[in-house]
Amino acid sequence: MSSDFTEVKIVVPSSQPMVSLLGREDRFLRMVEEAFNCRVIARGNEIDIRGKAKETEVCTRLFEELIEFLEEDLVITPENLSQIIDMVKNGKDVKPTEVFKEAVFSARGKLIRPKTVGQKRYVDMIRKSTIVFSIGPAGTGKTYLALAYAVQCLLDRRVNRLVLTRPAVEAGEKLGFLPGDIYQKVDPYLRPLYDALYEMLGAQKFHQMMDQGIIEVAPLAFMRGRTLNDSFIILDEAQNTSPEQMKMFLTRMGFGSRAVITGDVTQVDLPKELRSGLLVVRKILSGIEGVSFVYLDASDVVRHKIVQQIVEAYKEFESPPNGEDTGGNENL
């Protein structure tokens, strides 16, 4: 046997059923073996890990984290197991229990939690800052987590109103010629926000809050000239704002309000002659107290695993526009 080969035995506490750790029909065990170049054997309440020293060490740490995860009354799923494996393999200094245990939203029997280290950092920043800019690719939970936190603030009466807005870039100047009232005109552009709110509140409560003016969903153009007090304001798809629109939005904030601005600077739909307000604002507001920038990347994508690979492939293929750093790892 090679001197580089080692074997480690882990005793699982009797308080934790092995099926919770290994999955039904050892599904989780197979995921671990696929991720590590180790042989993992479960007998009774013991787990034997055999393989090269380095791989065995990391795999052992994974099982220790998973046992602690279960002891915090958290449930292992294929989705969060995949994230935990990535955290351990990449040497993240944040423990999985710290990422997953704190709920951003809890209502109607539904819990919404961060699922990656980046998402945990994002939620922590929303709690601490007055204005948060979240920049990252699709699937990183930028809008969904902001909505979840905002709805929880609304239900807890920490704010009196929730205002959601996004630029209707594709409609352009033709918006006025579309049939119906303003909400029918811009409905296709706001539909992703409606879908998330239906899930969190239920359709009946959502429409009730809309009718009472507690929740407002509107295109960015309709924010001009307003002052929003005691509100949680979310600007989605901010990469499609002009610098002037971004300034207009940021100056709508009144007393007791806070804002989250989300966007993906690699997917700007503005005409080529216009600069994105999200790109410009990073240079203008850096260093202002109460304003924070959070950058998410492919490791924070929580959709199908292949989406991470797609994001990375496009990142390698496309050069940043006009030499502008897209800020994937920047920390202002």
Name the percent of the chain lying above pLDDT 90.
50
**In 3D, which of 80, 64, 65 has the Cα closest to residue 31?**
80
Answer for the pair 241, 235: CB distance below 8 angstroms, yes or no. yes
pLDDT in tens, 281-292: 988 998 899 999
- Give the integer Cα–Cα distance in Å for 328 and 297: 6
Phi-psi bin for 257: left (phi > 0), alpha (psi -120 to 50), beta? beta
211 CB burial (10 A radius; 0-12, 13-18, 19+):
exposed
Q: What is the mean pLDDT of residues 30-42?
A: 91
Residue 222's pLDDT is 83
Q: Domains in the chain, start-ordered, CATH in brackets?
A: 5-100 (3.30.1370.10), 122-323 (3.40.50.300)
What amino acid occupies position 102?
E
pLDDT in tens, 113-155: 898 889 999 999 999 999 999 999 988 999 999 999 999 999 9
**In 3D, which of 309, 316, 332 has the Cα closest to residue 266?**
316
Residue 184's pLDDT is 65
Q: What is the mean pLDDT of residues 44-69?
A: 92
- Whether the per-residue pLDDT at 316 is higher than 80: the answer is no
Residue 170's pLDDT is 53
- Give the integer Cα–Cα distance in Å for 48 and 154: 49
Which structure tokens are listed for 34? 């696929």
- Whether the per-residue pLDDT at 165 is higher than 80: the answer is yes
Lowest mean pLDDT among 3-17, 58-72, 294-308, 313-327: 313-327
